[in-house]
């Protein structure tokens, strides 16, 4: 993601000019300080939390780029718990988003309430249904959804500071809801025989006030005005390496 060629979020960090929105990062780069990136998780497991493969891909690309990463999650109950072996709700269970996200972070995680723009150069939101269930109510309420208060604050703060925001899979709906007119991608707008099973999300993004841009799974879209970078990830039914490459492009 921050490699020397190609990746969009890394390019945004590197293209800072003195006096511009990335001036502080530009100066830091001359001091050879690693980019400091926040990653916001939503639980652990695709159907009720963070998509683990996406989170891992993000962390690998950031590590390869030399970034310093801190993970965060909201300290709130999950909407529900899904038995991933059956794909059904586990009615008797209740779990906490921060506690579950700590599994992915290997324990090194902080409450989202502690995330500030002063400490980070960029923020990234992996996908997974947790983004639509725990970071927002999109899974239930669609275009009328509400976004978690801390998630909304983080998105607005990074946007106001002119710092890059990365989102993949379903999480671009968060930017579409919070940042009016933001350009994002969740891939294609037609299911195409099941290759893009969540293609209807593109229409919801437009209803939320965002602009949807069609992209392939290995591509990323860069909204240069809002510093929002998105990629489809598992919105597409495809091989894992394509997901990894798309996140690398982001």
pLDDT, tens digit, for every residue of 238-247? 999 999 999 9
Instruction: Assess if residue 87 is contained within a domain.
Output: yes
Instruction: Assess if residue 180 is contained within a domain.
Output: no
pLDDT, tens digit, for every residue of 54-109? 999 999 999 999 999 999 999 999 999 999 999 899 988 999 999 999 999 999 99
pLDDT at 185 over 50: yes
Residues serving a catalytic function are: 169
Q: What is the pLDDT of residue 216?
A: 98
Within 71-126, where are the H helices?
Answer: 97-104
- Which pair of structure tokens corresponds to residue 23? 């001036």
Count the domains in the chain. 1
Instruction: Assess if residue 212 is contained within a domain.
Output: no
CATH number, residue 106: 3.40.50.880
What range does the domain containing 93 cover?
36-166+218-229+238-249
Instruction: Assess if residue 182 is contained within a domain.
Output: no
pLDDT at 4 over 50: no
Read off the pTM: 0.89
Taking all residues of the chain, what is their mean pLDDT, rounded to a whole number? 91
Closest CA to 250 of 213, 214, 224, 222: 222
Instruction: Assess if residue 119 is contained within a domain.
Output: yes
């Amino acid at each position: 993601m921050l490699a020397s060629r190609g990746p969009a979020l890394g390019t945004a960090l590197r293209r800072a000019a003195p006096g511009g929105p990335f001036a502080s990062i530009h100066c830091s780069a001359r001091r050879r300080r690693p980019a400091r990136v926040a990653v916001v998780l939503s639980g652990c497991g695709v159907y009720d939390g963070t998509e683990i493969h996406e989170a891992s891909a993000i962390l690998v690309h950031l590590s390869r780029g030399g970034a310093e990463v801190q993970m965060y999650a909201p300290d709130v109950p999950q909407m529900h718990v899904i038995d991933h072996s059956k794909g059904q709700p586990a009615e008797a269970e209740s779990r906490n988003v921060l506690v579950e996200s700590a599994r992915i972070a290997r324990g090194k995680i902080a409450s989202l309430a502690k995330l500030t723009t002063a400490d980070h150069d960029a923020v990234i939101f992996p996908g997974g249904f947790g983004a639509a269930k725990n970071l927002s109510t999109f899974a239930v309420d669609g275009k009328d959804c509400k976004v978690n208060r801390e998630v909304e604050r983080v998105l607005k703060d990074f946007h106001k500071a002119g710092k890059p925001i990365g989102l993949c899979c379903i999480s671009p709906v968060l930017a579409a809801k919070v940042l009016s007119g933001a350009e994002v991608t969740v891939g294609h707008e037609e299911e195409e025989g099941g290759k893009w099973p969540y293609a209807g999300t593109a229409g919801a993004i437009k209803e939320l006030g965002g602009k949807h841009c069609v992209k392939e799974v290995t591509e990323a879209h860069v909204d240069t005005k809002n510093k929002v970078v998105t990629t489809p990830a598992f919105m597409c039914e495809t091989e894992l390496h394509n997901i990894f490459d798309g996140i690398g492009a982001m």
